[in-house]
Amino acid sequence: MNNSEQNIQKMQVHYYFNDESHSMNALVRNKAEKDLLEAIRRISEVAECEFSIESLAYDEGGLIERLLFVAIIGIGTAQFFSPAINTLVHYYLTNDEELDDLKKQKLYQEIRGLELDNNKKELELEQVFEDKQTLRHISNYYKKIESYPKIKSIGYKRMGDKEETIVPREQFKNFILIDDKTVIEDDEAEIEIISPVLKEGKYKWRGKYQGENIDFSMGDSKFKQDVIERKHTFSNGITIQASLQITITYDEFGDEKRKSFSVKKVYGIKPEGEAHWRVRPVGTKKKREEFESEHLKSLFDGLDTENE
């Protein structure tokens, strides 16, 4: 092989409709296929294989689109991924969690079977199969397609395959990635106020919590109103003791995506230099409930309950 040698492959995307038509909403299709093309572009980056993508003439039978991949066979990982680029795209578009291991092993064998000598081949396989950005683009593609009820299934076919691989509508959700949320409650949070909100509106406060600068919403309406009415004077170093809710959103891969903070109740205030908290009524109520809970519990400890 030399640097000028080309590798040309074709792939067919076949949209099956729940009626006899051969047309599709142009906006839906263009937005969805933008994500499809982004996924293919990302695969080319991870595989270190640059290629152009050309769209061939459409056919009916639902709606059939044919994509032409033209890759330049170069050096490095491109030597073994270029002949398999169509297979990689097909894998991402048709892989299902239940069949994932079986399909991956088959694809491993297809790539390993290429008569090419490259020491990086084994090392790069996992990275190419599990790229997070590619999975995100594939997710966005299926999310847009799922929102278009006319499509009942999608068929994918590589050049040389006799039959399509069909992904029915009920399996679209298997490709759509879902974020996960965890909510943490800190009922004794101490927040040094950097910037309070002194007027009406849904503005964020700014403070320092456990050494981290945070923006947070103020959910204690009584305290917020007192601040607006200037019943509290804020100076450098003032700290509030509060019930703080921390919502952490993780992406589908378990990586932290964003974190939000919300104060539910303000129990007390302590200006810089003061030794004691100025406890608010809600803080007094909290302390009383904690005291009663602890001491009522101790009254019943050790009682004989056999006759209950």
The domain limits of the chain are 6-175, 180-283
**Amino acid letter, residue 180:** D
Global confidence as pTM: 0.58
Token pair recorded at residue 17 = 């409709």
Q: Check residue 5 and give its pLDDT.
A: 53
Strands across the sheet containing 165-168? 51-55, 63-72, 6-17, 151-158, 165-168
Choice among 60-64, 118-122, 124-128, 198-202 with the minimum mean pLDDT: 118-122
Per residue in 125-169, pLDDT (tens digit) is: 666 677 888 888 889 999 999 999 999 999 888 777 788 888 899
Mean pLDDT of 24-52: 84
Q: Is the pLDDT of residue 27 over 50?
A: yes
Residue with tokens 């809600």: 282
Quickly name the fold that domain 180-283 has: OB fold (Dihydrolipoamide Acetyltransferase, E2P) (2.40.50)
Mean pLDDT of 91-103: 63
Query: How large a percentage of the chain has pLDDT more than 70?
Result: 73
Q: Is the pLDDT of residue 275 over 90?
A: no
Q: Check residue 58 and give its pLDDT.
A: 65
| Nearest residue to 227 via CA among 205, 196, 206, 263 | 196
Q: Is the pLDDT of residue 302 over 60?
A: no
| Nearest residue to 62 via CA among 151, 193, 125 | 151
Q: Check residue 231 and give its pLDDT.
A: 84
Res. 79 pLDDT band, cuts 50 70 90: very low
Which string of DSSP letters, residue by residue, matches 127-164?
HHHT-HHHHHHHHHHHHHHHT-TTEEEEEEEETT-SSP
Q: Name the 3-class secondary structure at 93.
A: helix
What is d(CA 299, CA 286) in angstroms, rounded to the nearest whole number? 20
β-pair partners for 250: 180, 256
Q: Check residue 199 and give its pLDDT.
A: 84
Mean pLDDT of 87-103: 65
The helix-helix angle for 132-146 and 85-94 (nearest 10°) equals: 50
What is d(CA 305, CA 73) in angstroms, rounded to the nearest whole number? 81
Choice among 47-61, 163-177, 269-283, 291-305 with the minimum mean pLDDT: 291-305
More confidently predicted of 167 and 70: 167
Token pair recorded at residue 146 = 């799922």
Residue with tokens 């061939």: 56
More confidently predicted of 160 and 123: 160
Q: What is the DSSP letter of 137?
A: H
> Contact, 72 vs 4, CB < 8 A?
yes
